[in-house]
Each structure stands twice: as structure tokens, then as C-alpha cells.
Chain A
Amino acid sequence: MAEVATVREDTGKHRRYIPRKLAGPLLVSPMAFWMLAFFLTPLVLIVLYSFGSQSVYQTGVSLGFNTEWYVRIFTEPANRKAFLLTAQMVILNTVGCLVIGYPLAYFISVKAGRRKTLFVLLVMLPFWTSFLIRTYAWITILGNGGLLNGWLNDLGIMDGSLDFMYTQKAVYVGLIYDYLPFMVLPLFVGIEKIHKSLYEASKDLGAGKWTTLMKVTVPLSLPGIFAGCMLTAVPTTGEFVVPAILGGGKVVVWGWLIYEEFTAGRNWPMGSALSNVLLVVMLLIIVLYIRAVGTEDF
């Protein structure tokens, strides 16, 4: 700081150390370098790799233009099954989060009053812990002989073991649990932007609550709905941890195929091709979103 004081000039005008035109690019350069080198370059590399061929002894990959892996992806029934299952998972998770999250977001925005911040924080708090742990936490509840099983037996609703764990249903519970905050926060922001006087205007004009909801609240919170759906749908496409932990290896989704090829399968070009298909799907969803909403709220 002492040095700083000595360069002060008395004229009141400051000497520019760096020309203004260069300052922006200079400040952005470390970030630009990092994102180019360690995010974009790997993505380009994985595209190249997916057209490579692997030698029989798996000693290396030679680059070229080999479409074998993509042909396998689109012809093998197991891959098609995984693709459809993943699509179903993405849709059900997104719709599930929306249906569960919308009333909650509405509650926080309209009904919670002064405690709004607290309720938002309560939604965010679980999101700050590892999703691995949040997913694992469901095993105790959903497992055979677990808590839910015990409660249902005690209440006389059912008898014996529940057989819920390690099924698709358990995976959906875990997914909705993990992704709900991604949905609720944009929804909340969307509903929060609606001016409260519009509700009164709607009521004064004779609309009931359902009409107000369908004619005022939902249409005006559409940007929030779109944003929430995108933030939920896009990351779900590559999900493999929840199906692995709660599906017990029986729920084979696209992300799990990639995981397998990069670990036990040791077929990296195939894994790369799988990963590229996923990337294209994600970029498609993002492009659709931008078409629908624009980049303003992005």
C-alpha cells in the first residue's frame, strides 16, 4: 500500500497503467484460458476420440473417421432401451419436480409473507450437501424392512416386505428429491416477478382462484417454468449416480453406459460416442429453450 501512495499524482488526472481497450481482454484472459483449455478442448477432443478405433488389446486409440461406435449406439437394442429409459426418466423427473415444486414456489412467493427468505433458504439447504449423501439417505427409508416398510406394516396398509428399493420407482423418488431445488428456485423467481396487484385486479373482475391461477399466475410465470424445466431436464440426461444407488444396477440409463465404458468396459471411443450423443441432446434442449424464452433470463 505504501507504494501505491507514492504514485499518486497531484494533477488529479491519473496515469493509466493499462490502455482501456486492453484492460477487458487482459482481465478476462485467465478465465478464458482456463475454460478453453480445460472445458472446451476436452469437448473437442472427445468428439475426435469417438471417431477413433481401438486396437484389439486395448493398448491405444488411433484417430480417424470410424463411425463404428455410432452405428453400434443406434443399432444395438440395449442402447436403444437405455435411451428410451433415460428419456422417460428426464420427462418424469421434470414433470414430477414441476408438479411438486410449483405449489411450493407459489406458497413461498404469495403466502409466506415476511418469512420468505427463510423458506427459500430451507429449500436450498439440502442442496448444499453432497447429492451422493442425499441419495444414499433414502436407502434407510425405502429399503426392504426399512422405515417406510415398517410404517406401512404398522398401519396395516400392507403386510410383509415392500420391494420398493432397487426399482425404477425408488430411482424417481431419489431424482425428484435431488432435483427439486433446481426447479423451485427459478419457479419462485418467476412467480415473485408477478405484481401482486394483478391478483387483486383478477379478483375484482370476478375471477375465482382457479381462473386467476390459469389466466394470470401460470402464464406470467412461464419464463420461470421454462427455466426450471431446463435446469432440471438437462442435468438429468447424464444422471447415473441415483440409478446406481437406488436402482441397484437394474436401472440402466445412458449415463450408466458411459460410466461403464470408461471404467469396467474400458472402451473409451465407445464411451466418447455415447457421451457425444448426450451432449448433442443437451445442446438441443438448450437451443429449444433459447428459442422459446430468449437469452435474457438465462
Chain B
Amino acid sequence: MAAEIAVQGPAAPGRGKARLSLWDRLMRFSDIGISAWAIVVYIFLYLPIVVLVIYSFNKQVLNITWEGFTLDWYFAEPGSKEDPRVKGVLRDPDILGPFVTSMQIALLSTLGSVVIGVLGSFALVRFHFRTKTTWDGLNYTKIIIAEIVAGVSTLLFFVQLNNFLDTYVGFDFFNIFQPGFWSVVIAHIAWNIPFVVVIIRARLLGFDRSIEEAGADLGANPVSVFFRVTLPVIFPGILAASLLAFTLSFDDFVTTFFVIGQSYNTLPVQIWSMVRMGITPEINAISTIMMAFSMTIVIFLELKARVSEVL
């Protein structure tokens, strides 16, 4: 508590500065210290990523130490090398299949969650009704809670729903509720909606409604006000929300793992089983491609829509 005395005690007359405590004196070097700390943390954040990318060109199959440069993990035809473990990501059906599934799921769930989320955001920002706080609360809870809880409960839900349909309804709804492709799409839409709402809502709250009124005064009906005034203004938000939803869905592992069943595989689920089976630089190569993909999206977004200001 020496610091407290230093502040509250009156400075002795004739002295320029109040006496500083030991901690205060040590903090003189804080400018350098804090910048150095920031550099260290940024290195910590990027070192694994850089290493990951470099080691995707490693010749060594076990990928422990650096042996030499190769592009095999990207381009080698499976079975074309002496060692059967050497396979190129871009030719490996075990990777390409899940990749296509991931893309399809991500596109469909982005579409679904953005449409539903935009409508919901409008309702939450512009209208007053009794259940509003309930939907807010559900959304925030969904964002915060550990994903495993949502994952296992959704799995249970689908299994029970199918039992129910089998026993009492006798119609399988084309098996879309069976753990598989569509169940993942449904779960991802529920996973994405809250994030979409957070972004679109921020955009709507900063919206100057007088321009809509101007549109209406000039004779536009509500529908054309929406399409010609409102939509263009919130479009950067919609773009940001779509790309966030796409990335969340494309990268999602936990929910997908539980809900996907036996006959489908997404890229993260495939990576999970590969990591646990034993690792080769092929995983580094997939990761490099996935990361390049995500980061291109973010950088594009930042340049076009200034996401960091929207988020």
C-alpha cells in the first residue's frame, strides 16, 4: 500500500514530484517492457502456424525433425511412392470426399442461418414484443456454453426424434433427421444463428433510420424501401455474418463429430481421426490449405467490409 501513500500524501514543497514507490520506479521501464511483451505474445500466436506450414513440406514421414523439402504431401498420387503413407492432399480421396461434404454443409448452413438470423435481428432491434429477452438469452447462452453439451444433446435429440417418427408417425421425412448430412446442417444453423444475430444487430443499431423515412417520403413502399435502402446499408454486415457463419461451420469439429453418424465425414472430423491414428505431414498440408482458405476470407473481409469494426 506504499503506492497509496505516495498519491495521497501532499507533495513536499519545493520538490517537483511526489515520491514514487518502488513499483512505480520499476515501471519506468514499462514502455519497453510492454512492447517487448506484445512482441513475445505475437510470436507465441504465430510461431505454431508458421512451423505448421513449413513442416507441410517435410520429407520425413513421422514429421518429427526436418529432413528435406518435398511437395509430395500436396501432389503425390496415393500409392505412387514406395512408402504407402506418402499421399498428396490434393489427390487423396480420403481428404477430397470430406472436403466436398464440408463445403456443402457450410454453404447450406450459412444460407439458412443468415436468412433466419437477419429476420430475427430485425425483429429484435426494431420491434417490441414480450418474448424478446427469451430469444436474446437463448442466443447468448448458445454462444457461451461449451460446445460438447450442445453436441451430445443434439445427437440424443435426433436419435429420439427418429425413434418417435418410427413408432408413432411412420414417415421418415426422407431420413433428414437421421444422424448424417442434414442433421449436421440443422445443428450448424442453430450454432451459427447467434453469431449472425450479434453482427447484424450491431449493424442495425447503428442504422440511421431517417434515410428509410426519406425513401418512404419519396414514394417507395415498405418492400422497396427494404430492398433499395435498408439492404444495401446493412450489406457489409450480412457479408461479414455470412463469412463468419461459413468459417464456423467449415471448421466446426465438436458438434459435427457427435451429430454426423457413420456414413459421412467432414474435413475436421477426418483430421481428428488422422491425428489420433498417427501423424504425417499430410495433416500439415491439409491444415495449410484450410488456413490459407480461412485467412483469405478474413483478409478479404477486412479490406472490403472492415469486419473488425463490425464485430
A interface residues with partner B (beta carbon < 8 Å) = 1, 4-5, 7-9, 12, 14, 16-17, 20-21, 23-28, 30-32, 34-36, 38-43, 45-46, 49, 100-101, 103-104, 106-108, 111, 117, 119-126, 128-134, 136-141, 143-147, 150, 177, 180, 205-211, 213-215, 230-231, 234-241, 244-245, 255, 258-259, 262, 268, 271-272, 275, 278-279, 282, 286, 298
Contact = CB atoms under 8 A, between A and B. Distances in A.
B258 A262 contact: yes
A207 B287 contact: no
Contact of A30 (B21, B116, B220, B223): B116
Given A111-B31, A124-B311, 11 more contacts: A5-B224, A42-B157, A121-B302, A130-B268, A177-B48, A206-B7, A230-B144, A231-B144, A234-B146, A236-B146, A237-B146
Interface string B250-267: 010110001000000000
A11 to B, nearest CB: 10
Contacts of B287: 129-130, 133, 136-137
B190 A143 contact: no
8 closest A-B pairs by beta carbon, nearest first, are: A238-B146, A208-B24, A24-B127, A31-B120, A42-B153, A28-B123, A206-B18, A27-B123
Contacts of B44: 100, 177
B21 A211 contact: yes
A74 B302 CA distance: 49
B144 A214 contact: no
B221 A7 contact: yes
B135 A286 contact: no
13 contacts: A4-B224, A8-B221, A32-B135, A103-B41, A117-B308, A121-B308, A129-B291, A132-B268, A141-B51, A147-B51, A208-B23, A210-B23, A215-B7
A280 B283 CA distance: 37
Contact of B298 (A24, A108, A125, A177): A125
Given A128-B295, A128-B298, A34 B189 contact: yes
A121 B46 CA distance: 13
Given A34-B193, A235-B145, A208 B27 contact: yes
Residue picked from B120, B131, B153, most chain A C-beta under 10 Å: B153
Contacts, number: 300
Contacts of B47: 141
A282 B146 contact: yes
Contacts of A138: 48
Contacts of A117: 308-309
A209 to B, nearest CB: 4
Contact of B197 (A24, A26, A31, A211): A31
A235 B147 contact: yes
B1 to A, nearest CB: 10
B28 to A, nearest CB: 7
B270 to A, nearest CB: 10
B35 interface: yes
Contacts of A210: 3, 21, 23-24, 26-27
Given A24-B129, A213-B27, A238 B298 contact: no
B241 interface: no
A14 B34 contact: no
A206 B11 contact: yes
Contact of B119 (A14, A31, A103, A132): A31
Given A34-B116, A143-B64, A210-B21, A23 B127 contact: yes
B107 interface: no
Contacts of A240: 148
B157 A38 contact: yes
B150 interface: yes
A40 B194 CA distance: 14
B37 A38 contact: no
A26 to B, nearest CB: 8
A123 B253 contact: no
A136 B189 contact: no
A1 B55 CA distance: 54
A35 B291 contact: no
Interface in B76-113: none
A245 B126 CA distance: 46
A77 B20 CA distance: 53
